[in-house]
Amino acid sequence: MTDSAQVFQLRSIRRTYQVGSEFVHALDGVDLKIYDREFIAVVGTSGSGKSTLMHTLGFMDSPSSGEMFFEGKDVSNISRSERARLRATRIGFVFQSFNLLPKLSVMDNVLLPLVYGRTRTHNKKELGMSALQRVGMEHRASHRPSQLSGGERQRVAIARALTNQPRLILADEPTGNLDSKNRGRIMDLFGSLLDEGITLALVTHDDEVAQYAKRHIRMQDGKIVEDDGA
Ligand SMILES: Nc1ncnc2c1ncn2[C@@H]1O[C@H](COP(=O)(O)OP(=O)(O)OP(=O)(O)O)[C@@H](O)[C@H]1O
Ligand SMILES: [Mg+2]
């Protein structure tokens, strides 16, 4: 594959936390290439480094060492503001606990990435509405998150991740708080986003959810120990 098809490349990425006199190697030498339009499931036991990997890919956390390339560009040592810009404009992040702001309406939650990304646009509401339409939640635009079911909240959180039309969606156990019906709906929704050209990496503990993915990465003790797409 050519470099233009490469979304991410990680080389020898380490993330070490110091807790008192102890060092925790949350990522312990991770090498990974992610290509355009891939659908990757990241699995592994609790504490194996899955969330740390997602936060690293999402520019929410910086590696302690190693090299990182995004869309062919070396992003290992970019500034805080550049990281914030990439996080806000190129990546959509979906959390297990939805992370919607309770005091904002559904629409205002969905429009938040435009604020963070300082995206200038004249048609904010249209962008928000189109993101909500993609997840079938346009009829709830003026509701508060507390007035929605769990599955609906996660659909709104996915709409929010889509507002800036990111290339890559990262999801950390997006179906962890959902029943099987809603889990199926969310996975179908991800399937249609993949058809539209998005690249997706998600963490899951659920074998059924992992089966939707085409590539499976298993983590253990901060390392990738299995990768059926490498
Ligand atoms: N802020 C932190 N300070 C110290 N250690 C941390 C911190 N965050 C994570 N760790 C440690 O790093 C390791 C990897 O954590 P991580 O959250 O990536 O695991 P995980 O695979 O996502 O687990 P889970 O399935 O439970 O969500 C764990 O041992 C954890 O205790
Ligand atoms: Mg985790």
Q: Is-above-0.85 flag for pTM?
A: yes
Flag whether pLDDT at 226 surpasses 80.
yes
Supply the range of the domain harboring residue 120.
36-62+75-227
What the block records as the tokens of 62 is 């910086």
Quick: pLDDT tens for 13-62: 999 999 999 999 999 999 999 999 999 999 999 999 999 999 999 999 99
Taken in order 170, 133, 90, 116, the sign of the CA dihedral is negative
Task: Please count the structural domains in the chain.
Answer: 1
**Ligand positioned closest to the Cα atom of 19:** 1
What the block records as the tokens of 131 is 């993101």
Distances (CA, A) of 174 to 63, 72, 108, 186, 208: 24, 28, 21, 8, 13
User: Does the Cβ of 184 fall within 6 Å of ligand 1?
Assistant: no
Quick: pLDDT tens for 156-170: 999 999 988 899 999
What the block records as the tokens of 182 is 């809603």
Quick: pLDDT tens for 199-223: 999 999 999 999 999 999 999 999 9
User: Does the Cβ of 176 fall within 6 Å of ligand 1?
Assistant: no
Nearest alpha carbon to residue 44 among 224, 229, 228: 224
| CATH code of the domain covering residue 122 | 3.40.50.300
Atom of ligand 1 nearest to the CA of 18: 4
Does residue 8 form part of some domain? no
Does residue 175 form part of some domain? yes
Residue 3's pLDDT band (boundaries 50, 70, 90)? low
**Ligand positioned closest to the Cα atom of 217:** 1
Does residue 25 form part of some domain? no
